[in-house]
Chains A and B, each alone.
Chain A
Amino acid sequence: MFAGHGTTPQIDACLARVVRRLNVLRLQRAIYRIASALLLAACVGAVCAEWLPARGFRAVFSVLVIAVLAIVAASLLALRAGWTGPLSAAHRVEETMALDQRLLTLVAADATVRRSRLWPELVRDNLEHLPRWGESRLGIARVPGNVVLLLLSLVLAAFMLAPVAQAPPETSSDQGQVAAQADDAGPSEAARPRGAEPAAGGSAVAGDDDLGGVEDAERDGAALGDRLASAQLKLDQLQAGLASDFERSLAGGEINDRLGAGSGATHAGERLAHRPDSLPSSDAESRAEAGGRLPPEGLARLETGSDGANAENEESEDRGAAATGQAKARAETGAGSGDRAAGTRQAGGGNAGAQSATSGGGRGLGGDSASPGRKPGSPARQDGARGNDPLQSKGSGGPGGPGAGSGPATGSLLAAQPVTLMGAGQHQSARFGLTLGAASGSGRDPSGERRAEVDPRGEIAEAARGAQGADRPVRHEEIPPEYESAIKRLFAREP
């Protein structure tokens, strides 16, 4: 309602339309601004949740909440202050159509003005000019300009938030992928004798993943029944073999002897990247015995692919060394003096073997050894001579590196567990805990004597043995308190 309201229904209707357009535009602008702020804040929050520690995230989150609330409040206040009435709409029409304040005078006229004898003349004059602006949009945009900001925010949010929202739990994803890989591998590969290839530490993990994947596939339909049955059989065999291998690996010095003798002056990186088919059969067998067995090549390769994301995220620094380690391993098999460079490559070699599709060795225990190797002061980084250590070599993820449950999939699981251990003033990752629980336990302990001091390993093995039989429960369980005490004791002895 305005002063001149009711005099001319046509003008009133047109003016009301302009008012509605302007207010809708302002409302849209406010909504888009608020939505953009929320989306951007969510994106920033997601990034901070990914990269910042909890304390930092809380601080950033608080700031984001305050900022968003401020933007919302400011937008609402601006919306209220700029809410268009008939007078403002008339002003807008005047600015756009150059009506020489005819409409403005009509709309803003008070009772005194309306008593003028020229008032009918003013009304008639406005009606004459009504066709000029009555149907025009007067330059009022249908969509405010800040829709671009909203679209950019949506795109950004789609890139940053959608994967987080849609991603299933990491283990199930891995299981599904591995199950599919098991299907692709076919019964021939699944039926391959286990001892025929050097075993990889990740084989146990892969087997477990395959199990879960097969179970999922069984639910999918009867068409895959035969293949699933064969895969199941293969996985059972893998589990049984893994259990025995694991038990043997926990036995202690035998594995060290075998690996030490088998590699001679081993270059750690060489072992990491050795393809099974490039090794002598005896060596391959010994590694298979020591570290378990490799899954069929197809399985191992695919398992590598499934865990690639984890490996890339968690051990990016190892990736660079992977190719180097692999190439060097091919060229220098049996050689190597354990220099510093070799030790460094050894640290990354675990993943090299895991990431390399050609290695076929799957994810070895060495992939986990890389974690301690990365740690400042860790033997793998600081002492290249330790690259000669057989155990470390094995633990560095050679092609047949044992270490059930030490693959990157396990690592990701463990990363989600609050099992970060603080030993001897150093930050130890959960991955190391499982490495300890596996065969190596010691990518950092080259001497047999010192390994003999690692008493908790027996406890770990004892506790893990039963769980390793089923593997899956172990990987999904939190580390029992007795493990933590054992690991803490172990790290307490670290120099």
Chain B
Amino acid sequence: MTVLSTAEELLPNPGEFREVFSALEREMGKAVVGHQQPIRRILIAFFAGGHVLIEGVPGIGKTLMVRSLAEALDLSFSRIQFTIDLMPADITGTRILEESEAGRRAMVFAPGPLFAHLVLADEINRATPKTQSALLEAMAELQVTVAGTTHPLESPFFVLATLNPIEMEGTYPLPEAQLDRFLFKVPLAYPGVEGLREIVRLTTGVEPPRITPIFGADAARRVDALRALVREVMVAPQIEDYVASLVRSTIPEVSNDPQIKKYLSYGASPRGAQALILGAKVVALLSGRVNVSFADVEEIAVPALAHRLVMNFAAETESITPQSIVEHLLEVGRRGQR
């Protein structure tokens, strides 16, 4: 709360927000080649206050992307390599017996790797559901409870998890509750020829790319201020209605769309609507507006909703993807719901 108050005092204007955002894109682009759109979406989720799930094959630059962001923001960064034997306490921290200089022994809390501004949960699907669930409270409430004691996380807190779509043996697909905590799911595709050439050129040269922090010492406060600015963006009731109807239409039980009824088992939760609005606000600021438009919602609809849709067997057999379902709903929305 204190941080938010400070952020409100330092509330930047939309122009400054766009400058920071562009600078971040530029700095990250120095290290990560060929992923402009994923970088943009990751930054949108970051300023919207959400977390991102990145799905991509190994070696495609997922870890580099998170590391670059941390360096550009000059924020604390931790990496957790999820494995099958990873325990929750390994993430959240645990109480240990510590002896003071005076010889007194006491149980003290040793923070885990979650206590950082930026957390990379690498290959999160390789940990057990129990360990995966250890992230739930941290991602949703920015706090960790260990042994009955709640420990707040420092803002900004940003989790960037990665999924390896191959090597599925010995993995544990993320439960729906865990997936719902992520604001966006960003797929990373293979880079093209131009991208590969640039990657080779940058990473095999004498001097590796150097990322310059865009903030000074008060980077965390500046980021919080920018996040507060995002929340100030105004939304017309008609757009709220549009978002609500869009999310509502993903629920098979209530949707009138035959495709939804045929291919979906479960639809998006209210977190989906929150993700749509928050992401649209960032997009609005990037567009030079202080109000959300329908186009803003549509731009981030797929990354905000696709991973929240639970497809059924019919969809898998017919190769129907969640992305195509969301795009179909957007098309329906363009025709009738405006």
Contact = CB atoms under 8 A, between A and B. Distances in A.
Interface in B235-251: 235-239
Interface string A114-142: 00111101100100000000000000000
Contacts of B291: 100-102, 105-106, 122, 125
Contact of B238 (A102, A106, A108, A116): A108
A100 B235 contact: no
A107 to B, nearest CB: 8
Contacts of B233: 116, 118
Given A117-B232, A118-B234, A101 B293 contact: yes
B295 A105 contact: no
A122 B284 CA distance: 12
Interface residues on B, range: 20 to 34
A97 to B, nearest CB: 13
B289 A125 contact: yes
Interface in B190-249: 229, 232-239
B14 A100 contact: no
Interface centre among A91, A105, A119, A121 (most CB of B within 10 A): A105
A104 B232 contact: no
B287 interface: yes
Given A100-B295, A116-B232, A117-B11, A122 B238 contact: no
A209 B210 CA distance: 116
B39 interface: no
B292 interface: yes
Contact of B235 (A105, A106, A117, A121): A105
Interface string B271-310: 0000000000000000101111111000000000000000
Contacts of B290: 116, 118, 121-122, 125
A119 B289 CA distance: 11
Given A100-B291, A125-B289, A118 B232 contact: yes
A104 B13 CA distance: 22
B17 to A, nearest CB: 11
A100 B238 contact: no
Interface in B3-20: 11, 13-14
Contacts of B232: 116-118
B11 A122 contact: no
B234 A100 contact: no
Contacts of B11: 117
Contacts of A118: 14, 229, 232-234, 290
Nearest to B236: A105
Contacts of A117: 11, 232
19 contacts: A91-B238, A100-B287, A100-B289, A100-B291, A100-B293, A101-B292, A101-B294, A102-B289, A105-B234, A106-B291, A109-B234, A116-B234, A118-B14, A118-B229, A118-B232, A118-B233, A118-B234, A121-B13, A122-B290
Interface of A: 91, 100-102, 104-106, 108-110, 113, 116-119, 121-122, 125
What are the nearest 3 A-B pairs in CB distance?
A: A105-B291, A100-B293, A118-B290
